[in-house]
Structure 1
């Protein structure tokens, strides 16, 4: 019985980390409220119920929202709106997935240059 618990804990510890991806996809910035790009989540931990997405440029938060986790891991573009991007630069999306009680189960982020869509180094 103890071995089973230990193996389950080891499996969770060695599971692939959650990842987040998106593309600006030629979106035009500098609108009053910018529609979110399409997001792809992979390796979402079991028990995750809510998804919190936040957009930042440097230390400045540009908006975000908390939503139910999409069953297929894809959140369509235009699901919610933020205050950016506008000016060219590096913008980062951070995703946190939470349990039904609000505990953060995992976090992933991805930074891209806007408007070129090149990946930025963390």
Structure 2
């Protein structure tokens, strides 16, 4: 089963709310004036795709708080359960097999010790 953590009840969520109240007073222009490398810090490039999130009210502190939220919600554990074939679909009481549908490698994907590929 996945961790049953309500993100809105975590310390990280409360910290994000405080951070949001502070950051909403700052303009995007001010953020760029303060950091000349903002685009490099808050964008990703993969082949011909560019994800530019520098033009959002986000700072390094925002990223740290989001990581803290993910940790409090046990996201890494949930991802591991997802990829290892654990039963995480509580409605149907079974593993989710999205990975088997999208994995074109020769590696086995096992559920209950059986390769489902």
In the superposition, the TM-score normalised over structure 2's length comes to 0.22
Which is higher, the Rg of structure 1 or of structure 2?
2
Higher helix share: 2
